[in-house]
Structure 1
Amino acid sequence: MPTPDFVLALREQIGTAPLWLTGVTAVVTRGSGPDRELLVVRRADSGACTPVTGIVDPGEEPAVAAEREVLEEADVVAVAERLAWVQVLPEMTYPNGDRAQYLDLVFACRWVSGTPFPADGENTEAFWARLDDLPEMPATMTARIEAVLADEPAARFQR
């Protein structure tokens, strides 16, 4: 589902005014060493390759949201193992005029099972890519991947 029902309900009340939302980025890896792979999706709206991203539902634990988004978007079961980065993204305006700003929580996730495919229509592709052969991605996404791969014991945060 591209836009959660709770966001649509809020939009009925506030129109295109800015919404403050919590988002997750699930950086899912499998394997180890030179064969380690990253789960990649190609977004239907922009054509960009990215890790799985999504919005946390009201009352939902963020790690659970990351795992849910991976299952919904790529039909892959993954476990969130570590919070890697907490950041506020710049305000964005969608093509319909809706404005939003996200608190983005980047999770390091481990693959458990499943063969990726674009399960819910938000993406046109879902696939594994070796870390040494990733497709071109926006710099904002490669920074999130780098934060996960750095394997730091504590989450990064901005000041």
Structure 2
Amino acid sequence: MSTPEFVLALREKIGHAPLWLSGVTGVVVRDADASDPEILLVRRADNGAWTPVTGIIDPGEHPADAMVREVAEETGIEATPVRLARVGVTRPGVYPNGDQVQFIDLTFRLAWRSGEPHPADGENTDARWCPVSELPALDDDMQARVDAALADDERTAFFTGGELVR
């Protein structure tokens, strides 16, 4: 799925003005007890970057439910939320059409339940398992999300002003 209907309806009212949205990132882990567990990555159709699954929370939707839904919609994988790993805020962004946006991001660690990954909804050109030791280059923010999800620390990482606060 591309832009959610509720965002399109808001855009009709506010045009390209900045829009604050709630988003989720899911770091799905398979074989968590192995010496080199695997995480689920997708190659985004819009920019070609490899990332964990990301998405927008629908109005009234629980964030963990949104993450499970996004993983299933984008990759066909069934996963179970394990914990909220990180709360962060993205940099402001501008889409090619001029829409301005910024996200509060809730990064979850999820456990794989079933399925083999494939690009299921057109948002991605590829989906695959990747051993943690062989991760492709991720941008700094995505790497921080993955690191928080894989950390042994069960506490949620909060970032304020670019600094980690526990």
- Compute the TM-score of the two structures, normalised by the length of structure 1: 0.97
Question: Share of identical aligned residues, percent?
Answer: 56
Q: Distance in 2 between matches of 1:51 and 1:101?
A: 18
Aligned residues: 159
Q: Which residue of 2 aligns with 1:128?
A: 129
Q: Which residue of 2 aligns with 1:137?
A: 138
Q: Which residue of 2 aligns with 1:92?
A: 93
- Which consecutive residues of structure 1, in runs of 5 or more, have no partner in the other structure? none
Q: Distance in 1 between matches of 2:60 and 2:91?
A: 24
Code of the residue aligned with 1:120 in structure 2: it is: D
- Residue deviations 1:21-54, cap 9 Å, x none? 0000000010022241000000000000000000
Structure 1 runs, 4 residues or longer, greater than 4 Å off:
none
Residues 1-159 of structure 1: matches in 2 within 5 Å?
1-31=1-31, 32-159=33-160
Q: CA deviation at 1:131?
A: 0.7
- Residue deviations 1:96-117, cap 9 Å, x none? 1000110000000000000000
Q: Distance in 1 between matches of 2:46 and 2:88?
A: 23
- Compute the TM-score of the two structures, normalised by the length of structure 2: 0.93
- Which consecutive residues of structure 2, in runs of 5 or more, have no partner in the other structure? 161-166
Code of the residue aligned with 2:67 in structure 1: it is: A
Q: Distance in 2 between matches of 1:79 and 1:96?
A: 35
Q: CA deviation at 1:88?
A: 1.2
Q: Distance in 1 between matches of 2:119 and 2:54?
A: 13
Q: Distance in 1 between matches of 2:94 and 2:38?
A: 32
